[in-house]
Amino acid sequence: GAVVSQHPSRVICKSGTSVKIECRSLDFQATTMFWYRQFPKKSLMLMATSNEGSKATYEQGVEKDKFLINHASLTLSTLTVTSAHPEDSSFYICSAKTGGTDTQYFGPGTRLTVL
Amino acid sequence: AQSVTQPDIHITVSEGASLELRCNYSYGATPYLFWYVQSPGQGLQLLLKYFSGDTLVQGIKGFEAEFKRSQSSFNLRKPSVHWSDAAEYFCAVDNSGGSNYKLTFGKGTLLTVNP
């Protein structure tokens, strides 16, 4: 149980285009989802927290207009990287939790490469 | 500043040997503490967590961790390492006391297991 999937696992796009990454909780309802960014040899950096049906809460320094997060249902959250640039290339990971637990369950991540 | 430190970037052990991965945190109160493991192509998997109570916690795959308040540490241990334990290990802290579930991660320790 507690499986989280991400799609796509890898994406390559041209600079200036937008990319959408999906995060799904497959066997539980995720009241809260988190989006992280992981740089090589670095820890995961929390980008934003989203509660179903509410606007996402972004961490300091994360551009909300660039990283659009939607959590429209209890099983799906999306991260859209708008007008992507090479410096946005990274590994993006989502996690999800239900209301009755303190544990986050992580997706396998999405490798974004912006050319 | 609040932080999570994993002093060892890379550790190599022989199969069957014991293992200890170090984690130190700098927070005022007792935070919620977690250890996650990340294998290539897979999401972070929770090994164990500490919220309160017995300071020695048992996790999955034969791992255990001990919370030491005086040392602000939460070191991960395994008495006998298996080749399948080779992965990246992350220590994480939720210093909100479970109120917002935001995790701060260390930079990770890469474990290599020699046959």
Buried b (16+ CB within 10 A) or exposed e, A32-67: bbbbbbbeeeebbbbbbbbebeeebebeeebeeeeb
Task: Choose among A27, A3, A13: nearest CA to A94.
Answer: A3
DSSP A88: G
Q: Output the pLDDT for position B38.
A: 93
For residue B104, which residues of chain A lie inside 8 Å, CB to CB? 46
pLDDT of A43 over the 90 cut: no
DSSP B3: E
Band (pLDDT 50/70/90 cuts) for residue A77 is very high
Cβ atoms within 10 Å of B25's Cβ, excluding its own:
20
Which residues in chain A (23-62) have CB-CB distances under 8 A to chain B? 32, 34, 41-46, 49
Give the span between the Cα atoms of B91 and B93, in whole angstroms: 7
Give the span between the Cα atoms of B6 and B2, in whole angstroms: 14
Secondary structure (3-state) at B62: helix
Q: What is the largest CA-CA distance in chain A?
A: 42
CA distances to A76, B13, B22, B82 from B110, rounded to whole Å, are: 31, 11, 12, 15
* pLDDT averaged over every residue in chain A: 91
Give the span between the Cα atoms of B85 and B111, in whole angstroms: 8
Q: Output the pLDDT for position B99.
A: 64
Q: What is the largest CA-CA distance in chain B?
A: 44
User: Does B89 lie at the interface with A, CB-CB under 8 angstroms?
Assistant: no
User: Does B52 lie at the interface with A, CB-CB under 8 angstroms?
Assistant: no
User: Which of A88-92, B38-42, B43-47, B69-73 is the least confident region?
Assistant: B38-42
Q: Output the pLDDT for position A85.
A: 96
Nearest residue on chain B to A6, alpha-carbon basis: B43
Beta strands in chain B (DSSP E): 3-5, 10-14, 19-21, 24-26, 32-38, 44-50, 56-58, 64-68, 73-78, 87-94, 104-105, 109-114
Q: List the structure tokens of B20.
A: 């200890």
pLDDT of A101 over the 80 cut: no
DSSP B71: G
Q: Output the pLDDT for position B1.
A: 60
> Bigger pLDDT: A73 or B98?
A73
Task: Choose among B79, B4, B86: nearest CA to B42.
Answer: B86
Q: Output the pLDDT for position A59.
A: 92
**Contact yes or no for B105 and A109 at CB 8 A:** no
For residue B100, which residues of chain A lie inside 8 Å, CB to CB? 49
**What does R_g of chain B's alpha carbons equal in angstroms?**
14
Q: Output the pLDDT for position B41.
A: 72
* pLDDT averaged over every residue in chain B: 91
> Model confidence over B79-113: pLDDT tens digits?
999 999 999 999 999 877 666 678 889 999 999 99
